[in-house]
Amino acid sequence: MLKFDLARNALRYLIREYKIKEIYIPYYLCSVIRHAVFAEECRPIFYHIDNHFMPEGNLPGKSYILYPNYFGICDKNIDILIEKYDRLIVDNAHAFYAQPRGFASINSKKKFIPDCKEAYLFYGNEHWDIIPDKNRREIFERYHKIYGKSNLLNIDIPKEAVPFCYPYLAPSIENADMLVRKLSSGGVIIFRYWNPLPKSYNEYKFYSRLVPIPLDSYQGKKSSLPVRREDYKNVPFY
């Protein structure tokens, strides 16, 4: 295990250490990752994801592939991908408590413990002696009981998973905006992930209709956040 301040710097170290010349990354991802790849003079090759956050089609088997554990709910996707790709790099910025898997894993504390800049780079299946935050998981389950039936995402996560947020995929932009207004009125801060994507992309539905409900604001916090989603600022999770 190697320790860094930010996950992006862990990725940059990995690219330098293994002299990675090109790496597959998804379109639906924070832009700081693309900038980190470019900073190491590495070529990013973009791939699309399907409705279940899985890469579309088959990627080259021996390539370096960065796969995000989206919102901390994609452990079962990772189960499949590590069997298929020998050089899978798991981005656990949204799954800080996840055990390392794949060729390498990057776990970031920043989104789980505010103002704490710590990230860890693991190789292979290193065991990480970390105690999961059961409270976050309980809050996640509460939201799932409230919104699960109308959520267009098929959420199926292992019992030990501790997600970053509760991702709710609304059937329309109007429904998403309505939910954001409801949550915002109670003081819950909602951010949009991530940068705008073309409407022709499958990922556009996640950008425009996915509401990531934070798990550390369940009791509500006072906020001056604007009601309109288009006013929300992008916030990198690294």
Query: Using one digit for the tens of pLDDT, what is the confidence trace for 59-79?
Result: 999 999 999 999 999 999 999
Identify the weakest region by mean pLDDT among 106-115, 158-167, 169-178. 106-115
Kindly report the backbone phi and psi dihedral angles of residue 71, in degrees, each rounded to the nearest multiple of 5, phi listed first. 60, 10
Residue 229 has a pLDDT of 40
Helices 31-39/7-17 angle, 10° precision = 30
Tokens 């604007």 appear where? 226
Share of the chain above pLDDT 70, in %: 91
- pLDDT score of 226 more than 50: no
pTM of the predicted model as reported, rounded to 2 decimal places: 0.89
Token readout for 1 is 């295990």
Please say whether the beta carbons of 62 and 87 come within 8 A: yes
Beta pairing class for 119-123 and 210-214: unpaired
User: Does position 224 have pLDDT exceeding 80, yes or no?
Assistant: no
Question: Residue 115: is its pLDDT beyond 90?
Answer: no
Taking the C-alpha atoms of residue 168 and residue 202, their distance in angstroms, rounded to an integer, is 16
218 phi and psi, to 5 degrees? -60, -35
Report, as an integer, the average pLDDT of 14-39: 97
Domain architecture of the chain: domains with CATH: 2-123 (3.40.640.10), 134-231 (3.90.1150)
The tens digit of pLDDT for each residue in 128-152 reads: 999 999 999 999 999 999 999 999 9
pLDDT exceeds cutoff 90 at 195: no
Q: Residue 38, exposed/middle/buried by CB under 10 A (0-12, 13-18, 19+)?
A: exposed
Q: Say what the pLDDT of residue 17 is.
A: 97
Q: Higher pLDDT residue, 193 or 91?
A: 91
**What percent of the chain stands above pLDDT 90?**
81
